[in-house]
Amino acid sequence: MEIFQSHRVEMISIAVALVAIGAGTAFYFYITKKPKGCLDPENFKEYKLVKRTELSHNVAKFKFALPTPNSVLGLPIGQHMSCRGQDSVGEEVVKPYTPTTLDSDIGYFELVIKMYPQGRMSHHFSEMREGDYLAVKGPKGRFKYQPNQVRAFGMIAGGTGITPMFQVTRAILENPDDKTKIHLIYANVTYEDILLKEEIDNLAIIFSNQFNVYYVLNQPPEGWEGGMGFISKEMIQSHCPPPALDVQILRCGPPPMNKAMAAHLNDLGYTAQMQFQF
């Protein structure tokens, strides 16, 4: 009888220990599990426009709700999404866009969009009102971000080409373990065309030993102290890290600018591995 009693106590102890281990493991997986992203690479999914903020006469910030307040978009850093709309004659158009938000922004994502008078997808965004839905598919893109993957990034952006740079910059600066230095050259036609200027300037002040920016304007206002004209080889030499195996220069802008920048970078000795075009 005593043997039976002691076995019973042992069995209960083992059962309690097993339940505790099981519950602990389940809790660990629950708290460490990354929330699943909402994007679908194969199918367009619709997201509701909940806020539209005009930033200038042709630029607006569009805030879209994710399916629940706890949802995350699930877009890897530096990748983009395909957005589908209709142009002014009702034909379908699909174009790439990079949100300015990260997966640390829960329950929504934001796009900063410049609308060109003749632009096909621009027409769709111009017409969008709060309560409308945008069809989005993704993620797309070849850029793979790993913290500290290089010692320094040079970034050359033109116009709306700032959005992927802004996303990568935010991800690096918001990660205290990522020590990557960032040198951004950002070109526009006029001062008013500069997108996200306040946000970029704030980051440059807060992270002054890790991030700096050099603005270049084609038609600068009087008293302008930044670069003037088009981005030159000399500007790249002065404001980007020199060629090295642990350096990469990212570029994103209109096609003629990308072509000109690729030629400058090649002439300055940056190998193909040291360059990336979004």
Catalytic residues: 80, 97-98, 252
The beta-strand segments (E) located in 103-233 are: 108-114, 133-140, 152-158, 181-188, 211-217, 227-228
When binding is defined by CB under 6 A, the residue of 39, 72, 114, 227 that contacts ligand FAD is 114
Rounded alpha-carbon distances, angstroms, from residue 123 to 95, 119, 171: 12, 6, 31
Q: Is 116 in the site for ligand FAD (CB under 6 A)?
A: yes
Using DSSP's 3-state secondary structure scheme, residue 58 falls into: coil
Number of residues written out for the chain: 278
What string marks each residue from 84 to 113 as x (binds ligand FAD by CB under 6 A) or -?
---------x-xxxx------------xxx
Tokens of 103: 């997966």
| Cα angle value 244/248/252 (rounded, 5°) | 145
In whole angstroms, the minimum distance from the beta carbon of 231 to ligand FAD comes to: 14
Q: Is 63 in the site for ligand FAD (CB under 6 A)?
A: no
Q: Cβ closer to ligand FAD: 91 or 222?
A: 91
In whole angstroms, the minimum distance from the beta carbon of 269 to ligand FAD comes to: 26
Based on its alpha-carbon atoms, the radius of gyration of the chain, rounded to whole angstroms, reads 24
Helices (H), the chain: 2-32, 120-127, 162-173, 197-206, 233-239, 255-267
Q: Is 256 in the site for ligand FAD (CB under 6 A)?
A: no
Tokens of 271: 């190998």
Q: Cβ closer to ligand FAD: 86 or 210?
A: 86
Q: Is 160 in the site for ligand FAD (CB under 6 A)?
A: yes
Q: What are phi and psi of 94, to 5 degrees?
A: -130, 130
By CB under 6 A, the residues from 190 to 209 that bind ligand FAD are none
Instruction: Say if residue 13 carries a ligand binding annotation.
Output: no
Q: Is 156 in the site for ligand FAD (CB under 6 A)?
A: no
Instruction: Say if residue 96 carries a ligand binding annotation.
Output: yes
Q: Cβ closer to ligand FAD: 80 or 264?
A: 80
Give the H/E segment covering residue 133. Answer: strand 133-140
Q: Cβ closer to ligand FAD: 112 or 240?
A: 112
Q: From CA 44, how far away is CA 82, in angstroms rounded?
A: 9
Interface contacts to ligand FAD, rule CB under 6 A:
80, 93, 95-98, 111-114, 116, 118-122, 159-160, 163-164, 254, 278
- As annotated, the binding site for FAD includes 96-97, 112, 114, 121-122, 163
